[in-house]
Amino acid sequence: MNQKNLFKRSALAAAVAIVSSNVYAAGFQLNEYTAAGLGRSFSGEGAIADTAASGSRNPATMTMFNRPAFSIGAIYVDPNVDVTGKSPVTGADTSASNIAPNQWIPNIHFIMPLNEQWALGASATSNYGLATEFSDNYPAGPIGGETDLTTINNNLSVAYRLNEHFSFGLGFDAVYAKAKIRRTAGELVPLKTGGLLPADTEAAKLKGNEWGYGWNAGVLYEVDDNNRYGFTYRSEVKIDFDGEYRNGIPQALGGTGGHTVPGSLTLNLPEMWELSGYNRVAPKWAIHYSLAYTSWSQFQELKATGSQGQTLFDKNEGYHDAYRIALGTTYYYDDNWTFRTGIAFDDSPVPADNRTISIPDQDRFWISAGTTYAFTKDASVDVGVSYMHGQTVNISEKVADGVPNYEFQAKGTAMLYGANFNYSF
């Protein structure tokens, strides 16, 4: 086994993880932008318009508000993701438990109606996020390590009501992405160097932060007060990462010896469509539903270059388009209490042979419940909870040339808890 090849493999694994964490649909393309939506598995989000958060999902729904509305809150994600496996080289246990740490996802929204036809809106949410952590002495360090991504989507939007049936909305997205990737040498380097480089040697560390820009648009069709349908489009967002890369591997072995070198890549987050419906089927009951479709097939290749234009890596990804389907119901108990529930299914875009333990992608099933308590006609609190269950998947990853692939099984579940405070002026 060549140490330079192992170093390159470590760098590739880290770079792939930093990008894949941005373009990962089922598990880390975040929907968690409101507690009310969480309580119904985010079903019907483009048509319900029950809080100011709806403007960030479908800007056309802002025409349904007749006075300024504000919402602020957060969703707490408590995942339980485990991987199991055994080293094909030494037989060492490569299992790891709870590789995804808990996370808070905040949100804030505001809608300002200008008159009966026009409305403005602003929001700050997160559309993408990921965090996985393995110990520094993990045997498969080049593909484990630490992966951390945080994004903030700042949105400004405007809506126009054409008539009693049709409304249109248009928004501008400014996405700030901050990423950190760290990989360690693992068990192979100590074997080759006779322990000269220990397993916790830093094999790759990348970090970067950049802005990307896009737009979104929506249409709302109101049949009457009790039946409406929404269509939403969100454009791709182009992010040009110019990051820093380093490792602790000596230069003689193909590393940087602790020195930082520049690298860049261009990432296009794919476009998404969503169809939503809301029907008040009885005085106290409503049903709502959504179908979202993301064009992940646009993501076929991952390529990064150095400061001199040289290719650092070029990897085929081969993602396929993915969908999300959700169904829910709301019960309007009285003027103070509203109850909701929902189910959903997330389709994974990642082919089985492209899964990684840093991003153990899998199809997911949601079940959710929530409630709203209105203190007055102006102030209310939303609470929501969801259970997300992922299927067990097999993962086969290459660590170095001439070494058998490391084989794993991964499974994951998550509990999500959210609360929002809403106020109308």
Write the secondary structure of the chain as one string of H (helix), E (strand) and C (coil). CCHHHHHHHHHHHHHHHHHHCCCCCCCCECCCCCHHHHCCCCCCCCCCCCCCCHHHHCHHHHHHCCCCEEEEEEEEEEEEEEEEEECCCCCCECCECCCCCCEEEEEEEEEEECCCCEEEEEEEECCEEEEEECCCCCCCHHHCCEEEEEEEEEEEEEEEECCCCEEEEEEEEEEEEEEEEEEECCCHHHHHHCCCCCCCCEEEEEEEEEEEEEEEEEEEEEEECCEEEEEEEECCEEEEEEEEEECCCCHHHCCCCCCCEEEEEEEEECCEEEEEEEEEEECCEEEEEEEEEECHHHCCEEEEEECCCCEEEEEECCCCCEEEEEEEEEEECCCCEEEEEEEEEECCCCCHHHCCCCCCCCCEEEEEEEEEEECCCCEEEEEEEEEEEECCEEEEECCCCCCCCEEEEEEEEEEEEEEEEEEEC
What pLDDT does 282 receive? 97
* pLDDT for the residue numbered 5: 52
How confident is the model at residue 317, as a pLDDT?
Answer: 66
Bridge partners for 386 per DSSP: 368, 416
CA distance 256 to 39: 49
Supply the pLDDT for residue 18: 47
Tokens found for residue 145: 């390590």
Tokens 């049709």 identify what position? 166
Instruction: Give the model's pLDDT for residue 380.
Output: 98
Exposed, middle or buried by CB within 10 Å (0-12, 13-18, 19+), for 163?
Answer: exposed
Give the model's pLDDT for residue 22.
37
| Residue 408 · residue 399 · CB < 8 Å | no
Residue 245 is predicted with a pLDDT of: 73
Query: How is residue 207 written in tokens?
Result: 């970090």
**Cα–Cα distance for residue pair 42/35, rounded to 1 Å:** 9
- Which pTM value belongs to this model? 0.87
Q: Name every residue whose Cβ is closer than 8 Å to that of residue 195 and which is 6 or more positions away in sequence.
A: none
Query: What token pair was written down for 61?
Result: 């729904």
Q: Can you give the pLDDT at residue 23?
A: 37
Distance CA 376, CA 262 (A): 56
The pLDDT value given to residue 341: 98
Nearest to 396 by CA among 406, 386, 404, 387: 406
d(CA 402, CA 69): 61
Q: Which residues of the chain have pLDDT under 50?
A: 1, 12, 18-28
Supply the pLDDT for residue 302.
62
Residue appearing with tokens 């959504």: 290
Strands 261-269 and 301-306, how do they pair?
A: antiparallel
Q: Are 318 and 300 in contact (CB under 8 A)?
A: yes
146: Cβ contacts below 8 Å, ≥ 6 apart: 132, 133, 134, 180, 181, 182
CATH-assigned architecture of domain 32-424 = Beta Barrel (2.40)
372-423 pLDDT, tens digit each: 999 999 999 999 999 999 888 888 888 777 888 889 998 888 899 999 999 9
Q: How is residue 124 written in tokens?
A: 């700050």
Extents of the domains making up the chain: 32-424
Q: What tens digit of pLDDT does each residue of 201-243 get?
A: 887 777 778 899 999 999 999 999 999 999 999 998 887 877 7
Q: How many residues does the chain have?
A: 425
Whole-number Å distance between alpha carbons of 299 and 320:
8
